[in-house]
Copies of this chain bind each other. A is one copy, B any other.
Amino acid sequence: MNKEALKQLLDKVKKGSTDVEEAVEKLVDLPYKELGFAKIDNHREIRTGYPEVIFGQGKTPEQVHDIVKFLLSKDGNILATRVTPEMFDVVRKLSGDAEYHETARCITIRQNAPVLPDTHIAVVTAGTTDLPVAEEAAVTAEIFDNRVNRFFDVGVAGVHRLFNSLDDIRKARVVVVIAGMEGALPSVVGGLVDKPVIAVPTSSGYGANFGGLSALLGMLTSCASGVSVVNIDNGFGAGYQAGMINKL
């Protein structure tokens, strides 16, 4: 509500065409509306395709059940990440549309037909052990109404595999690159592709990998421009931001 709209409301109060009580109800929410919180909320309600997201890790199947049940009443698409098979068992009873993405460890429930932009996102991984994180990114972007092209197992130790896919990777509007170990792939891709690269370090590896630290530091200090980084194993975060960029 901008200053002009506020003036119009008060004019109506003055004229009696709007009730004081009615005006109070409108104005009492003003702070948050004006700060934009309601905008975001309205935004989410109006534009279908935005998922409601549940972070499953550390929750019980019962808790996931209750949250999904509540969200189903709101008509949006639903995404649950880091879920277990037990969680899917309770969710499938709530909705026949529930889909279980085993590798991604995700559940999606699509309640709105997708409205897809023409552009797409490339999801690129270094090795096969990075697959769960890659699928989490891809599933997140897809339920968020994006097209995704997957390019798996094209790590730098055999860089010719990357080149076989390079022309196709370049067609994407934004590229998510996922790698564990030394995390070198985003640097190489970032030097070859003229698009924003979102790098995801994974905890796959052992020893001096230190739970993903080696890949994380490698990606942060990448010598290629145009690379930014999300948390270790955070496929969701990369898929979410890639979706945002793809739909700009």
Binding site for B on A (CB under 8 A): 1-3, 6-7, 10-11, 13-14, 16, 20-21, 23-24, 27-28, 30-37, 40, 43, 53, 57-59, 126-129, 155-160, 163-164, 166-167, 170, 173-174, 180-184, 187-188, 190-196, 198, 201, 203-234, 236-238, 240-241, 244-245, 248
What is the predominant secondary structure among interface residues of chain A facing chain B? helix
Q: Given that A196-B245, A225-B241, A228-B237 are contacting pairs, would A27 and B6 also be in contact in the complex, using a CB cutoff of 8 Å?
A: yes
Q: Do residues B187 and A157 form an inter-chain contact, with CB atoms below 8 A? A: yes
Instruction: Say yes or no: B31 contacts A190, CB within 8 Å.
Output: no
A36 lies within 8 A of B192 (CB): yes
Q: In chain B, what residue has the closest Cβ to A1?
A: B31
CB distance from A235 to the nearest CB of B (A): 11
Per the bound structure, the CA–CA distance linking A62 and B58 in Å amounts to: 29
Which residues of B have CB within 8 Å of A234?
A: 207
Contact A11 B20 (CB under 8 A): yes
CB distance from A143 to the nearest CB of B (A): 13
Evaluate contact between B220 and A217: CB separation under 8 angstroms. no
In Å, the complex CA distance between A170 and B37 comes to 12
Give the nearest-CB partner of A20 in chain B: B10
3 closest A-B pairs by beta carbon, nearest first, are A207-B232, A184-B184, A37-B160
Tell me if A217 and B206 are in contact (CB < 8 A): no
**Which residues of chain B are within 8 angstroms of A180 by Cβ–Cβ distance?**
221
A231 surroundings in chain B (CB, below 8 A): 206-209, 220-222
Most chain B Cβ neighbours within 10 Å, of A156, A181, A210, A226: A156
- Residues in chain B near residue A236, CB distance under 8 A: 225
Contact indicator B225/A2 (Cβ below 8 Å): no
Q: Give the residue name and chain of the B residue nearest to A205 (CB).
A: B221
List the B side residues contacting A31 at CB < 8 Å: 1, 30-31, 34-35, 163
Known contacts A31-B31, A33-B2; decide if A214 and B220 are in contact (CB<8 Å): yes
